[in-house]
Amino acid sequence: MLISIIEQKCKMALERAFSSRLQDLSVEVTRSTHARFGHYQCNSAMKLTKVLQLPPREIAAKMISILEEENTQGEFEKIEVAGPGFVNITLSSKYISQFCQKIEKNLGLKLENPQKIAIDFSSPNTAKEMHVGHLRSTIIGDCLARLFEYQGHQVLRLNHIGDWGTAFGMLIAYIKKFEPEIISGKKQANLVLLVSLYKAAKKLFDEDELFKKNAQLAVVSLQKGDNETLKIWEFICDISRKAYQEIYDLLDVHLIERGESFYNPFLEKTIQDLEDKGLITFSDGAKCLFLDGFVNREGEPLPFMLQKSDGGFNYATTDIASIRHRIQDEHCDRLIYVTDAGQAMHFAMLFAAAKKAGYLNPDKVRADHVPFGLVLGPDGKKFKTRSGETERLIDLLTTAITQAETILNARNEEKEAMSTQEIKEIAHVLGINAVKYADLACNRTHDYVFSYEKMLRFEGNTAAFLMYAYVRIHGIKRKIQQYDKAIIQLIHPSEIALGLHLCQLSEILHAISDDLMPNRLCEYLFELAEKFNAFFRDCRVEGSIEQNQRLALCELTAKILQEGLSILGLKTVTRM
């Protein structure tokens, strides 16, 4: 990373200037917030004032003196002290040009010590349709998985679907009693039918004690592996799986299904292990863990319930068993859970429980909950259909594709440049890209308002704007057709600004791998498209003396745009 090289040089300068007075020195270098402050800024001089008993500007001056002395390769164009002791660093155009050549051959940041990372995301409930609430988990989780895969990590993309428990007892009992033809195959079933049957089963479960008893017995039969009950359960799961896969195919998302049923064999063993360690406390007949720092509104200890008084298990049981399995059996180095912000307390308690049990050692395994806000409608409330129902995810995605096609047809009427088939293919990419990008561009901890009109615009921070920058580069190449491969030589200020930005991709990816905020990459790519447009405005490419060098800069821009969009889960097109 470019920023790492500058950090190393600044650290070297400080150590040489004050070697006998500094221990375990860490240097802080950041990208400058404005061009007038140079390209990078080192703020360490002010933090070392107390240690060195010197004014920060004096510390900065000594540091600059050594940096200038060591600037034999001409990496720095200008280094100066600013304000109370900031060190502003401006890189030379020659050095930025050379760095562009390096990254052209080796994009991104490939880590020396790859990890095994489990990312738990999407996680719909079987026999229920995926809705807009599943959108964020699926898109954010897929983006993080793509990032870590790009960096060379081994990623387990886990779909922890809800496919076990009382809900299935209700549905199985209802199908046995009222829809036996589904079991025999005389009646066709799809997810829409299953959803309606589940609603009817839930209503009967709440109203009829006999049916409730039969549903509970069906759960017991399922847990014991009764063949007939398992056959119905597998049938339900298969129908749901096919419906979910249609959405995953649209989104180009790949997952390994490991639902609650996968961890069911480990639940009793996990509870027994916790009992053997003396960690289980009974509270109103339920087996619980009490964790330091977790209290209710009255200030009383808050139990983390792992087994109900009737012997039944819950989400917490499955989740702690899954942590144990992912660390002890899968040997994961990092665990990431992508769920809505409403589950923050559950995961805080889960991680605390796993630490207390000895399953999760923070020094060896990092665990992150990645919370996200709500998708809102134009009224600022949860996004719903006009009838008041929660928006089905499949309908949302197909509508985005349809609206993209309408926009592209209108644009094509002016140019008549694309065939009907081309428009359909591009509309599919644009519609899905627009939905994904609008979600990822928002700080994931915030709610955002879903708007087809805004997300499909060709101006502003949208997928279409970025796609069009990529298309423009391919348009330049089509016009020139024949050219000689050249090295990048940055001379014009707009070329230098674009080149420097291209060099900073790995810095952004490194930051996201730590804070798990995909909007950082969206901001980077939006700035990249803007800087490319400024370059295209200021620097003639076709027919200029610098044509080949500038075309090489265009090609690197296209390459990084494509890589960045791919990490977000977006596809590119060469015409629009």
Report pLDDT for 110.
60
Neighbours of 378 (CB within 10 A): 10
For helices 420-440 and 519-538, give the axis angle rounded to 10 degrees.
120
d(CA 445, CA 436): 16
Phi, psi of 335 (to 5 degrees): -120, 130
Surface-to-core class of residue 386, CB atoms within 10 Å of its CB (0-12 exposed, 13-18 middle, 19+ buried): exposed
Report pLDDT for 66.
94
Closest to 498 in 3D by CA, of 456, 436, 562, 555: 555
d(CA 202, CA 193): 14
Helices (H), 277-343: 315-328
CATH number of 393-568: 1.10.730.10
Determine which helix (DSSP H) or strand (DSSP E) holds 120, and give its type and residue range. strand 116-120
Structure tokens at 226: 């009764």
d(CA 348, CA 355): 11
CA distances from 443 to 253, 519, 523 (A): 21, 6, 10
Per-residue pLDDT in tens (0 to 9) along the chain, 576 residues: 899 999 999 999 998 988 767 777 788 899 998 888 999 999 999 888 888 889 999 999 999 999 999 988 889 999 999 999 999 999 999 999 999 999 887 765 566 789 999 999 999 999 888 988 899 999 999 999 999 999 999 999 999 999 988 888 999 999 999 998 888 888 888 898 999 999 999 999 999 999 999 998 998 888 888 898 999 999 999 999 999 999 999 999 999 999 999 999 999 999 999 999 999 999 999 999 999 999 988 889 999 999 988 888 889 999 999 999 999 999 999 999 999 999 999 999 999 999 999 999 999 999 999 999 999 988 888 887 665 677 889 999 999 999 999 999 988 776 667 888 999 999 999 999 999 999 999 999 999 999 999 999 999 999 999 999 999 999 999 999 877 888 999 999 999 999 999 999 999 999 999 999 999 999 999 999 999 999 999 999 998 999 999 999 999 999 999 999 999 999 999 988
Comparing 2-91 with 393-568, is the CATH topology the same?
A: no
Determine which helix (DSSP H) or strand (DSSP E) holds 245, and give its type and residue range. helix 227-251
Surface-to-core class of residue 319, CB atoms within 10 Å of its CB (0-12 exposed, 13-18 middle, 19+ buried): buried
Report pLDDT for 276.
96
User: 135: number of CA atoms within 13 Å, CB side?
Assistant: 29
Contact 108, 502 (CB under 8 A): no
Structure tokens at 510: 């490194």
Contact 359, 327 (CB under 8 A): yes
Neighbours of 485 (CB within 10 A): 8
Give 451-475 as a DSSP string. -HHHHT-SSSSSHHHHHHHHHHHHH
* Residues ≥6 apart with Cβ < 8 Å to 257: 159, 161, 241
Report pLDDT for 323.
97
- What value does the CA radius of gyration of the chain take, rounded to a whole number of Å? 29
Structure tokens at 132: 């807009």
Structure tokens at 511: 């930051």
CA dihedral 17, 20, 24, 25 (to 10 degrees): -20
* Residues ≥6 apart with Cβ < 8 Å to 356: 279, 289, 291
Give 128-172 as a DSSP string. S--BGGGHHHHHHHHHHHHHHHHTT-EEEEEE--B--SHHHHHHH
Domain boundaries, the chain: 2-91, 166-236, 393-568
Report pLDDT for 525.
98
Report pLDDT for 109.
55
Fold exhibited by the domain 2-91: Gyrase A; domain 2 (3.30.1360)
* Residues ≥6 apart with Cβ < 8 Å to 103: 502, 503, 505, 506, 556, 560
Contact 349, 294 (CB under 8 A): yes
SS3 sequence of 499-566? HHHHCCHHHHHHHHHHHCCCHHHHHHHHHHHHHHHHHHHHCCCCCCCCHHHHHHHHHHHHHHHHHHHH
Strand partners, 141: none
d(CA 281, CA 301): 12
SS3 sequence of 383-426? CECCCCCECEHHHHHHHHHHHHHHHHHHHHHHHCCCCHHHHHHH
Contact 141, 119 (CB under 8 A): yes
* Residues ≥6 apart with Cβ < 8 Å to 300: none
Closest to 516 in 3D by CA, of 339, 304, 369: 369
Task: Specify the DSSP class assigned to residue 45.
Answer: H
Strand partners, 125: 162
Structure tokens at 236: 């339900």
Question: 3-state DSSP call for residue 41?
Answer: strand
Report pLDDT for 386.
62
d(CA 558, CA 564): 10
Report pLDDT for 354.
98
Closest to 89 in 3D by CA, of 106, 70, 108, 107: 70
Q: Strand ranges (DSSP E) for 203-280?
A: 256-257
Angle at 533 between CA 530 and CA 536, to 5 degrees: 155
